[in-house]
Amino acid sequence: MAATHNHAHGATENGNNRRLLAAFGITALFMAVEVAGGLLSGSLALLADAGHMLTDAAALMMALLAVRFAQRKPNSQHTFGYLRLTTLAAFINALALLVITLLIVWEAIRRFYQPHPIAGWPMMIIAVGGLVANLLSFWLLHGGEGEKNINLRAAALHVLGDLLGSVGAIVAAGVILLTGWLYIDPILSILVSCLVLRSGWRLLQESLHELLEGTPSQIDIEKLKRDMCLNIPEVRNIHHVHVWQVGEKPVMTLHAQVVPPYDHDALLHQIQHYLLDHYQISHATVQMEYQQCPEDDCGITAEPEPVHVHAHAHAHHQH
């Protein structure tokens, strides 16, 4: 039965990977087509939409990398494996997006003063092609097991947002073909750039927060400390708490001052299962103590102090 479940889970993961790879190929291909079309037709709106498609391609690539690196085993040089590479890639991608967006906005402002001739029909054809590519990618990511997989859902949301950019480029091409009003192109390119800027800025904040070992946004440390003391009677105090994130996995270390337990291992497992059930923390190192540390806050940057010996135990739990 277990073998059947593992086989089915593996087949699902392979199907998800194929969907991600197909969507990435479609998005990257039409991003290149839009860049070429924007340069040939003179349309800044197409170039802005290509920048938005770059965010989609990057999101899909990071989802693929996350799956690939998650399968690599940790070693003595990289004890958490290589999941942090996806965060580094996200940070670099966000910086590149912000630079591209600023360049497009600068060019759009310049075109208000010096309108640039635009070939309407090539712009329209390529914009419609971009819309079809986005719809196809969204169908790939949203179908099948897509709604159950966090990577596929996140990538699908990126592609859904890019549909607005493609629609904007089609509207700009239609206005130019019907009226010859060239100012619609820089106006819509700025609107699309604002969408890219918003996505890029959020991505920059999230990736930088993770690179700086910030506490995951879904975890309130003070609430965790209070709730654990209330829900586990043997726990008197929680301190020296550190929570950070590697890839999508939260990691924690903490000190727990406890009443000397009748069954040490049972209490340790109770603490670990509490963290797993309430905070989805499956990787926690717990130091149990019968007397409280002299300092409640860890002075990681302070001068080292003499080591006080307590009755304690280190524990690692991997669900």
DSSP of 109-174, one letter per residue? HHHHHS-----HHHHHHHHHHHHHHHHHHHHHHHSTTGGG-HHHHHHHHHHHHHHHHHHHHHHHHH
Q: Give me the domain span that covers residue 179.
A: 2-211
Tell me the CATH number at 247: 3.30.70.1350
Confirm whether 216 is domain-assigned.
Answer: no
The number of folded domains in the chain is: 2
DSSP of 235-274, one letter per residue? EEEEEEEEEEEETTEEEEEEEEEE---SSHHHHHHHHHHH
Query: Which pLDDT score, from 0 to 100, does residue 63 have?
Result: 74
Q: Give pLDDT tens digits for 24-63.
A: 899 899 999 989 999 999 998 888 888 878 877 887 887 7
Query: Which pLDDT score, from 0 to 100, does residue 154 have?
Result: 62
Collect all residues with Cβ–Cβ distance below 8 Å to 50 and sequence separation of at least 6.
31, 34, 35, 38
Tokens 């959020």 — which residue? 202
Query: Which pLDDT score, from 0 to 100, does residue 137 have?
Result: 86
In one-letter notation, the amino acid at residue 167 is: V
Structure-model confidence comparison of residues 248 and 231, the more confident one: 231
Q: Are 254 and 241 in contact (CB under 8 A)?
A: yes
Q: Determine which helix (DSSP H) or strand (DSSP E) holds 8, and give its type and residue range.
A: helix 2-41
Q: Give pLDDT tens digits for 232-253.
A: 999 999 999 999 988 778 999 9
Residue 67 reports pLDDT greater than 90: no
Most confident of 157-161, 226-230, 311-315: 226-230
Same domain, 67 and 196: yes
Residue 301 reports pLDDT greater than 60: no
Domain end marker among 160, 192, 211: 211
Collect all residues with Cβ–Cβ distance below 8 Å to 199 and sequence separation of at least 6.
52, 55, 97, 158, 161
> Strand pairing partners for 286?
254, 315
Q: Give pLDDT tens digits for 138-172.
A: 888 776 554 445 556 666 766 776 777 788 889 99
Confirm whether 297 is domain-assigned.
Answer: yes
Q: Give pLDDT tens digits for 77-92.
A: 887 777 777 788 778 8
Residue 120 reports pLDDT greater than 80: yes
Structure-model confidence comparison of residues 37 and 10, the more confident one: 37
